[in-house]
Structure 1
Amino acid sequence: MHIQEWLETVPAISVYILVGAVIGLESLGIPLPGEIVLVSAALLAASHDGINPWILGACATAGAVIGDSIGYAIGRKGGRPLLAWLGGKFPKHFGESQIGLAERSFQKWGMWAVFFGRFVALLRIFAGPLAGVLHMPYWKFLIANVLGGIAWAGGTTAVIYSVGVVAEAWLKRFSYLGLAIAVLIGLASMLILKNRAKKAAAAHSAAEAAEPEPDTVPVAD
């Protein structure tokens, strides 16, 4: 079952909790599809009156900020042995090449790596724990974490929700227009076929009328 189809079966409060929890766990360092869940929930809110996009965006932002902060604390306490352990558990996400790329990004960009890392799937998982491992000052991390969380979670919710509302209205108009066009095409096809059938019948009748009758041969007595 598609994520959005499944979300339609649960109450609004459960959607808020689910989105916040998944994004929080992803930000903490667990590779989960936080962005997919957020986009699906925002699209669902666009077509579901029971889900408030403001509350959804707030829950997503809270999950992002809290999850990153917990990840920072874990990374600061666990250090590089934590990254090595994660590499053994999740080699596709915490392998040497992925960790090396994230470290170079942090060394080059600092706070901006935390901020913009929110918009990149790989850095979104690494941002909190790696900032803690590299001992980034917490006040710098907190500023970048909060601003990045608001920009990513709140911005994604607002954009996807707005697109969903416009798309839904357009699709409704298109469905009515498509239905009208289909009816017109059906009527036109029926009239054309009926007219062709009449012409074919008339031509067949004319051909039969024009065909000479066979000569009668007199029978000898």
Structure 2
Amino acid sequence: MNPAVDAFLITIPPLVVYLTVGLVVGIESLGVPLPGEIVLVSAALLSSRHELEVSPGWIALAAVGGAVIGDSIGYAIGRRYGMGLFVWAGRKMPRHFGPSHVAAAERLFARWGMLAVFFGRFIALLRIFAGPLAGALRMHYPRFLIANVLGGICWAAGTTFAVYFLGIVAERWLQRFSWIGLVVAVIAGLTIGAVVKRRTARLVEDEG
């Protein structure tokens, strides 16, 4: 056991964890490229440490709230400024909003509609595009909201509880290592980031 690490983790108020998850996921859903999935995975792993009193249910709820609210604000911004918003974003952040990314996301939305919003929650490219692009393309808001809420629930709750139970299993097998949650969080985050990056590149290539 590592008393220093345990002492540090125990000092983190659960409310701070929930607010961090909701804020990061919300800002990412708004259209700003942040590591929302990595933050969610890390928080879910912390919740598997029972002595920290961090609830996986509240983490999932915070992530759902951040996803729905962030996407809705992004929708309003996209509806207000239209496709010109992505031209501006492409100049500022070409790695995330380059012409090929915007074109691929636009074709996916035109082809799949609500399904693009739902499954976009699981793909980095569409997760930051979903709200603003749906607004810019004038998708009917009630339809967008339904897909947004369902996608947010499946993504947030599914990820949180899958990682939570994985953390419990890991803790049982590796009880001697108090830092296992942090190590797994880093490894899981890097793995997820690599997988999402490859999936996004392949998606852009296929739709390009």
Match of residue 21, structure 1, among 23, 34, 53: 23
Partner of 1:65: 68
**1:171-219 superposed Cα distances (whole Å, 9 cap, x missing partner):** 22899xxxxxxxxxxxxxxxxxxxxxxxxxxxxxxxxxxxxxxxxxxxx
- Aligned structure 1 segments of 4 or more residues deviating by more than 2 angstroms: 7-10, 172-175
CA distance in 2, matches of 1:12, 1:103: 39
2:166 is equivalent to residue 131 of structure 1:
no
Computed over aligned residues only, the root mean square deviation of the Cα atoms, in angstroms, reads 2.0
**Structure possessing the higher radius of gyration over alpha carbons:** 1
CA distance in 2, matches of 1:153, 1:115: 12
CA distance in 2, matches of 1:169, 1:13: 26
Partner of 1:10: 12
CA distance in 2, matches of 1:75, 1:116: 19
Partner of 1:40: 42
Match of residue 94, structure 2, among 91, 95, 99: 91
Match of residue 59, structure 2, among 53, 56, 59: 56
Question: What's the TM-score, normalizing by structure 1?
Answer: 0.74
**1:64-107 superposed Cα distances (whole Å, 9 cap, x missing partner):** 01000000000000101111111111110000000011011101
The aligned amino acid for 1:104 is: R
Match of residue 168, structure 1, among 148, 165, 171: 171
Partner-residue secondary structure (3-state), 1:16: helix
**What is the total number of aligned residue pairs between the two structures?**
171
CA distance in 2, matches of 1:113, 1:157: 22
Shift of residue 10 of structure 1? 2.7
Match of residue 114, structure 2, among 111, 115, 132: 111
Shift of residue 128 of structure 1? 0.4
CA distance in 1, matches of 2:47, 2:40: 10
CA distance in 1, matches of 2:99, 2:50: 43
CA distance in 1, matches of 2:83, 2:109: 15
Match of residue 30, structure 1, among 8, 32, 36: 32
The aligned amino acid for 1:32 is: L
Partner-residue secondary structure (3-state), 1:105: helix
Partner of 2:199: none
CA distance in 2, matches of 1:126, 1:98: 9
Shift of residue 48 of structure 1? 4.1
Partner-residue secondary structure (3-state), 1:172: coil
Partner-residue secondary structure (3-state), 1:32: coil
Question: What's the TM-score, normalizing by structure 2?
Answer: 0.78
Range that drifts further, 46-55 or 65-74: 46-55
Consecutive unaligned residues of structure 2, counting only runs of 5 or more, are: 179-208
Percent of residue pairs identical = 63
The aligned amino acid for 2:172 is: A
Partner-residue secondary structure (3-state), 1:124: helix
Range that drifts further, 45-54 or 118-127: 45-54
CA distance in 2, matches of 1:172, 1:93: 40
Consecutive unaligned residues of structure 1, counting only runs of 5 or more, are: 176-221
